[in-house]
Chain A
């Protein structure tokens, strides 16, 4: 007798204890609202396609591609540009950042350039890159490189500078060589901040790649979205937005997973 009110309270608090279900419910509610708006034609169908139409567009593009490019090609070329620019930035930015953190003279000679580049909106030099390099893939990769490079270099520098002096001195006192100090003290201590920088840089490169494809491109997800807008194919636009959102979440989850695996000592020092 006593537990009847309790049980009903449990049912209500179940949703509170499991926020995941609530999140799912709210996403479903949003889809429901979308479906409702389109089914009852509250806005013109040209402006907002129904979920079914978007799904049909997805199937169609999966099967036939979009304007002679397959979906895989478009996703692939977006990811390739993003990945190439980002990796180039890692390969050059991390060593420069480490050197800038380690040698004050290198920092003095280069830091102002990096700090000037960092807050500049990447798209502002897209025009310059097109004049310099042309409209092909290389100028887009160069743009993403310039986007990611200052972020990565500054965070690697900050990583080295955050290393505790005591540790360096302790290692020295115990007879470690310069290389050993770098390899076993400075490098592991600089890794967490460098990885954080890499995550921010990848996110920045990903949002820049789409912007770059809006301007002068013949493939890529950004191109697909802008091209669809010229033909008022709103179903393709919404499909592209959903794909870009999922891809963005997947990319940041991937880098986070690598981060957790590689820098497993993060936060426990």
Chain B
């Protein structure tokens, strides 16, 4: 809306970043006044100072025999184990599904069934089968990442331009060469988009799994702190979870920019 922007900017000289700054400042002031002024109980909303001391507690003393870093490390390990295995398996199957209609027809019912299924529903079954522990959680995350990656890879292959394949073929490329130099590079941007989606879902699922059936990890920390009504720990935990999720996403974007530098350029 250039026009709308022109009108509003004509009316006031406040740039957009200043408006954002003012809005953040208002929120922080409201938070300080509400908590330190005694309008809101510390249980509902910790004050900045108690949030800070809660943070220091978690960093220095840790939570229930493990420091916050160890909990975060455990969560990260699980996310990466489930994501990497699920994304690789999903991409391989998805490439085959995009390449071959027989493979697509055989696998698509299961992929389509798994995709909208709430992940936590099969967590229960996995716990009955494998017990509460790493195995159940990593299989859960594998099953979460798998359909997302498979569908992205399949769509990627299907969106490859037919002309390019035909040109390569008429220039004498073998099947493998076509796959290696035409189909795979064209599908890679979509595969990465799928990977970003997948890591987001995997992360959300892991936190949910730790809340429901965990004994370590960031998700479990906030659940357990909530049981003891330590809302300062709960807030610190939520912030840590948010920051870790953001950094996972940034990490994938950085890898994507490095590997798929040709995305959007054809």
Q: Chain A 122-155, CB within 8 Å of chain B: the 1/0 string?
A: 1111111011100000000000000000000000
**Which residues of A, 176-224, contact B by the 8 Å Cβ criterion?**
203, 206-211, 214-215, 221-222
- Point out the residue from B5, B116, B127, B204 that lies within 8 Å of A252, measured CB to CB: B116
Interface flag for B106 (CB, 8 Å): yes
Interface flag for B112 (CB, 8 Å): yes
Known A124-B238, A131-B44: A101·B1 in contact at CB below 8 Å: yes
The 3 closest A-B pairs by CB, nearest first: A248-B116, A127-B226, A22-B105
Of A2-10, A65-73, A231-239, A260-268, the stretch lying at the interface with chain B is A231-239
Whether B211 and A207, one on each chain, are in contact in the complex, defined by CB atoms closer than 8 angstroms, is no
Whether A203 and B16, one on each chain, are in contact in the complex, defined by CB atoms closer than 8 angstroms, is no
Contacts of B16 in A (CB 8 A): 104-105, 107-108
Known A103-B8, A108-B23: A121·B128 in contact at CB below 8 Å: no
Whether A245 and B116, one on each chain, are in contact in the complex, defined by CB atoms closer than 8 angstroms, is yes
With A and B bound together, what is the CA distance between A47 and B130 in angstroms?
10
Interface flag for B4 (CB, 8 Å): yes
Whether B101 and A16, one on each chain, are in contact in the complex, defined by CB atoms closer than 8 angstroms, is yes
Q: List 9 A-B contacts (CB under 8 A).
A: A16-B102, A23-B106, A109-B22, A121-B241, A123-B204, A124-B222, A126-B211, A127-B211, A128-B234
Whether A234 and B102, one on each chain, are in contact in the complex, defined by CB atoms closer than 8 angstroms, is no
Whether A116 and B231, one on each chain, are in contact in the complex, defined by CB atoms closer than 8 angstroms, is no
With A and B bound together, what is the CA distance between A23 and B9 in angstroms?
58
Interface flag for A89 (CB, 8 Å): no
Contacts of A128 in B (CB 8 A): 226, 231, 234-235, 238
Of A34-42, A56-64, A165-173, the stretch lying at the interface with chain B is A165-173
Whether A249 and B106, one on each chain, are in contact in the complex, defined by CB atoms closer than 8 angstroms, is no
Interface flag for B229 (CB, 8 Å): yes
Whether A119 and B121, one on each chain, are in contact in the complex, defined by CB atoms closer than 8 angstroms, is no
Interface flag for B207 (CB, 8 Å): yes
Q: Chain A 92-118, CB within 8 Å of chain B: the 1/0 string?
A: 000000000111110111111000100
With A and B bound together, what is the CA distance between A120 and B208 in angstroms?
11
Whether A237 and B238, one on each chain, are in contact in the complex, defined by CB atoms closer than 8 angstroms, is no
Contacts of B211 in A (CB 8 A): 123-124, 126-127, 211, 215
Whether A241 and B122, one on each chain, are in contact in the complex, defined by CB atoms closer than 8 angstroms, is yes
Whether A222 and B223, one on each chain, are in contact in the complex, defined by CB atoms closer than 8 angstroms, is no
Residues of A within 8 A of B (CB): 15-16, 19-20, 22-23, 25-27, 30, 47, 101-105, 107-112, 116, 119-128, 130-132, 160-161, 163, 165, 168-169, 172, 203, 206-211, 214-215, 221-222, 225-226, 228-229, 232, 234, 237-238, 240-241, 244-245, 248-249, 251-252
Q: Interface residues of B, CB < 8 Å — how many?
A: 66
Of B165-173, B242-250, B257-265, the stretch lying at the interface with chain A is B242-250
Residues of B within 8 A of A (CB): 1-5, 8-9, 12, 14, 16-17, 19-20, 22-24, 43-44, 101-102, 104-110, 112-114, 116-122, 124-125, 127-129, 200, 203-204, 206-208, 211-212, 219, 222-223, 225-226, 229, 231, 234-235, 237-238, 241-242, 245-246, 249
Whether B238 and A125, one on each chain, are in contact in the complex, defined by CB atoms closer than 8 angstroms, is yes
Quote the shortest CB–CB distance from B195 to chain A (angstroms).
15
Whether B118 and A244, one on each chain, are in contact in the complex, defined by CB atoms closer than 8 angstroms, is yes
Known A109-B19, A222-B120: A120·B3 in contact at CB below 8 Å: no
